[in-house]
Each structure stands twice: as C-alpha cells, then as structure tokens.
C-alpha cells in the first residue's frame, strides 16, 4: 500500500521535474503548472491579506461571472491536454469553495500532482478529501504570538491541528511562512517545528498589495534593509538545517537585489543584467482565478497596466497567450528564482531527493503514529 502511494507520488512529481528540465534546456514555453485560485472567499482575516473577497466592502460584486464546478473540471482537462502536470489549489481559502471537493476528486482521478494550499481550518473535518492531495501547504507564521498577531486569535491552534491531522493521514505537509514585521525573528521556531514534525518550510516576504489594500498591508511589510537582513539570517539557518526549501540561489538573489524591492525590472532597464534567466511565470506557469481570468503571476495580477483575458471570452489559448512573455526581467518575488533553479538539469536529482525525503517523511510520520 505504502509502495503504491509512494510510486504514484513520485511518478507524478517526476513528470513535473522532467517538464521543468525540458523548459530549462529548450526554453520553449508550454503550460506545465497551473495555479487555480478557486475562490477569493476566506474564513480568516489576516491583516496583511490582499485578496478582494466578497465579504469585504471593497470586494468583487456577486454579479461578476464566476467559474462553475463543471467549468473548473473542463479547464483542468484542457490544461492537462496542453501539458500541465502540476496544479495548485489556492484562494482565498480553497476549502470554503463549494467546488473544492469536486475539483480535488477530479485531480485525483486524473492522477496529476496537486498541492492544496490552505489556512488549515477545515483540514481536520475533511481529512478524506485532504488525503487525496499530493501535498498540503499550510500557512503558519511562527509561534502562537507571532502567528496570531496578524492572522488572528486562534489561527495558530487551527493550523497546528491541521498539521497534525494531515500527518496522521500520511499527507506530505509543507509550511508556508509570510515574513512580516510581526515574525521577522521566527525562523528558529518554524525550523524547530519542522524538525520535530518532519516537515519542510518556504519563507516568502509579504508582497505589495493592490491599491485598495496597500495602506494596511504596507504597515506590516519589512523595509528593504530588513528584507535583506532576514535573508542573510535565512542563509545562515540553511547551513544548520535541511528543512528550508528556499534555494541558496534565491536567498542570495534577495540579499544582492540591486534596486528597490518594490520595482519590477523590465527587460530593457539598465539593471536587467542582474538576473538573466527567463521567468517560468508567463512561460510555463499561469494563475487562473474564479472569474476565469488568466495572469502570469501575482505581480501582474495587481498591476494596472495588465488587462487579463478570461477563458470565457476569447478562449483558453488566447487568455494564456495574453498572459505570456511579459516585458519584465525580474522582481522581488523570490519563489520565481526557486522555480528557475528547478529548470536546471542539476536540480533534477535535488528535486527527486527532496521528493523522496518529503514523501518518506510523511509516510514515516504515519508509521510512527500507527
């Protein structure tokens, strides 16, 4: 049983890694990764959140056309036909969507790797569903005080319950930590948790928000100097633990970033030579939201000079083409560099090693509990 599960998980991930390396070698754009933002609704109210969910006065009106359940399934099928081998379900909180269960069942039946990114609150109640995910990413920003300062009272406890429930179900869990002024000093506590529970973590600095949320979000964002100091600390931590998934290259990229983090550097800007690898966003990976809109990445999602096309009006290929090959060269979204790293042949072995450790970790957690 364990062998079957492991073989399925590894074969799903291998298809992703081979697709990444193929892009690294040929640079031929072709959809490989689809990030499905299946709802903007959420049952949490993190102070730095920039999602315009409908529960807020500034949210999107109910009248805007949304993707139906069958439309999501059809989109997934068409994306698989076009070569997509990795899906993430994101939000908002994806598990509050009425379509979440159907979408997860479908992805599971299609035997494609998918990651469910969640605040964890609904995980313990829906373990049978969660068990179908290839990987679960749970948001956690540090110890209880640091986490709940911005995510709200009780959210640390909810995330921890989710982590333990997922571990008991044998699902590989990854932590995602948004770095802000409230948790700048929390690397140690997160690493300790990962070592204790056999987990891995990615740290992402809080990014800028669209105009309507900017004032609130910016209160919590680190200034450029502190972001660089944070990544310098993170690099030192990487020497001590193998639990941190940010690559050395992406950490160093942030430490040496040659201009304001706020700025997106365009291909014809004088600083463009600082980082030359073509971005995977808008070439092999795309964001799809509940309104059927297609974006290359979260940065362009929030820029007024990008007009997304939807999968409804001109069709999927036209919406993807519109989101492709933007004029930017690099930006402060450090995970972009982690993805680039994975397109290099040398990353294949590293990726497989990480996959096996993560998958075996999840299974050994399960065996230990059994």
For binding to ligand SF4 (CB under 6 A), which residues are involved? 42, 44-46, 49, 51, 91-93, 119, 139, 264, 279, 281-282, 296-297, 299-300, 326, 328, 330-331, 333, 336
List of residues 6+ apart from 177 with CB closer than 8 A: 139, 140, 141, 142, 183, 186, 190, 201, 202, 203, 204
Residue 72 or 300 with smaller CB distance to ligand SF4: 300
Half-sphere exposure (CA, 13 Å, Cβ side) for 134?
A: 27
Residue 82 or 263 with smaller CB distance to ligand SF4: 263
Q: Is 86 helix (H, G, I), strand (E, B) or coil?
A: strand
Alpha helix segments (H runs only) across 293-344: 298-301, 316-322, 335-342
**Orientation angle between helical segments 69-81 and 100-109, nearest 10 degrees:** 30
Residue 17 or 300 with smaller CB distance to ligand SF4: 300
State the minimum distance, in angstroms, from the CB of residue 317 to ligand SF4. Answer: 19
DSSP single-letter state for residue 244: B
Residue 83 or 278 with smaller CB distance to ligand SF4: 278
Residue 69 or 278 with smaller CB distance to ligand SF4: 278
State the minimum distance, in angstroms, from the CB of residue 343 to ligand SF4. Answer: 13
Pairwise CA distance, residues 152 & 346, whole Å: 41
State the minimum distance, in angstroms, from the CB of residue 339 to ligand SF4. Answer: 9
Pairwise CA distance, residues 58 & 85, whole Å: 35
Pairwise CA distance, residues 122 & 94, whole Å: 10
Residue 14 or 324 with smaller CB distance to ligand SF4: 324
Residue 172 or 282 with smaller CB distance to ligand SF4: 282
79, 282, 284, 360 from 320: Cα distances, Å: 11, 8, 10, 36
Residue 31 or 92 with smaller CB distance to ligand SF4: 92
State the minimum distance, in angstroms, from the CB of residue 259 to ligand SF4. Answer: 13
State the minimum distance, in angstroms, from the CB of residue 253 to ligand SF4. Answer: 11
CB 75, CB 326: distance < 8 Å? no
State the minimum distance, in angstroms, from the CB of residue 332 to ligand SF4. Answer: 8
State the minimum distance, in angstroms, from the CB of residue 357 to ligand SF4. Answer: 27
**Orientation angle between helical segments 345-369 and 335-342, nearest 10 degrees:** 110
Taking CB positions, which residue lies at the least distance from ligand SF4?
A: 49
State the minimum distance, in angstroms, from the CB of residue 41 to ligand SF4. Answer: 9
């Amino acid at each position: 049983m364990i062998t079957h599960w492991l073989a399925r998980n590894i074969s799903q991930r291998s298809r992703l890694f081979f697709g990444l390396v193929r892009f690294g070698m040929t640079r031929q754009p072709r959809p490989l990764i689809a990030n499905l933002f299946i709802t903007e609704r959420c049952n949490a109210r993190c102070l730095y959140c920039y999602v315009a969910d409908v529960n807020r006065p500034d949210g999107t009106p109910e009248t805007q056309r949304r993707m139906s359940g069958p439309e999501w399934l059809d989109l997934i099928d068409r994306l698989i036909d076009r070569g997509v081998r990795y899906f993430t379900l994101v939000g908002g909180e994806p598990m509050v969507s009425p379509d979440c269960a159907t979408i997860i069942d479908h992805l599971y039946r299609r035997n494609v790797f998918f990651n469910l990114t969640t605040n964890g609150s609904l995980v313990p109640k829906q373990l049978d569903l969660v068990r179908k995910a290839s990987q679960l990413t749970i948001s956690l920003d540090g110890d209880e005080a640091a986490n709940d300062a911005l995510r709200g009272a009780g959210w640390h406890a909810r995330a921890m319950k989710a982590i333990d429930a997922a571990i008991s179900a044998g699902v590989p869990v990854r932590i995602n930590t948004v770095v802000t002024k409230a948790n700048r000093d929390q690397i140690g506590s997160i690493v300790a948790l990962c070592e204790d529970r056999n987990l891995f973590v990615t740290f992402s600095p809080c990014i800028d928000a669209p105009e309507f949320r900017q004032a609130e979000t910016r209160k919590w964002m680190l200034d450029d100097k502190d972001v660089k100091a944070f990544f310098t600390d993170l690099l030192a931590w990487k020497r001590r633990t193998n639990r941190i998934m940010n690559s050395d290259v992406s950490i160093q990229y942030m430490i040496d970033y040659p201009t304001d983090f706020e700025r997106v550097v365009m291909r014809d800007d004088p600083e463009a030579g600082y980082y030359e690898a073509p971005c995977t966003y808008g070439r092999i990976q795309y964001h799809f939201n509940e309104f059927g809109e297609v974006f290359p990445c979260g940065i362009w999602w929030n820029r007024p000079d990008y007009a997304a096309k939807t999968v409804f009006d001109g069709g999927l290929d036209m919406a993807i083409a519109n989101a492709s090959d933007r004029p930017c060269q690099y930006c402060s979204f450090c995970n972009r560099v982690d993805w680039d790293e994975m397109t290099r042949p040398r990353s294949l072995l590293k990726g497989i090693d990480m996959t096996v450790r993560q998958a075996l970790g999840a299974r050994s957690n399960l065996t230990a509990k059994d």
